[in-house]
Amino acid sequence: MAVKVIDASALAAIVFNESSGAAIADLIRGCELVAPELLAYEMANVCLVKIRRRSAPREALLAALAMPGPRVETVSVDHRALLPLAEATGLTIYDSSYLWLARELGVDLVTLDRELAAVAGKT
């Protein structure tokens, strides 16, 4: 089974039924998914932003966040390695954690973040 790192932007597309969600679901079908431990915090933050923007009823967003989505194993990352990676790439520490994990595992990174995808594509 193929392993892929998935970030919050890609997972949110599925969980919150965004227009790109079906394409992401196809991309990860049959894969084992992993992400840094911060994924749950980022998903909660996506939900909060959607609530604040009133992109859907609050109850529907909270329900979507609570529903089981694709199974994602969360793992620790080497936080000491993130700062030089973030400095070298111009990414945030958060985005660097996904990139670091994908590089460490030697697997693809699934993201809808254009900047993160561009940096990941150069590796």
Give pLDDT tens digits for 65-103: 998 889 999 999 999 999 999 999 999 999 999 999 999
Q: What's residue 55's pLDDT?
A: 87
Residue 60: domain span? 3-121
CATH of the domain at 36: 3.40.50.1010
pTM over 0.85: yes
- For the chain, how many structural domains are there in total? 1
Q: Residue 64: is its pLDDT beyond 70? A: yes
Q: What's residue 123's pLDDT?
A: 54
Contact 74, 36 (CB under 8 A): yes
pLDDT tens profile 12-51: 999 999 999 999 999 999 999 999 999 999 999 999 999 9
Q: What is the CA radius of gyration of the chain?
A: 14
Q: Residue 4: is its pLDDT beyond 80? A: yes
Q: What are the C-alpha distances in Å from 21 to residues 14, 29, 79, 122?
A: 4, 12, 30, 25
Q: Please, what sign has the CA dihedral across residues 24, 27, 29, 33?
A: negative
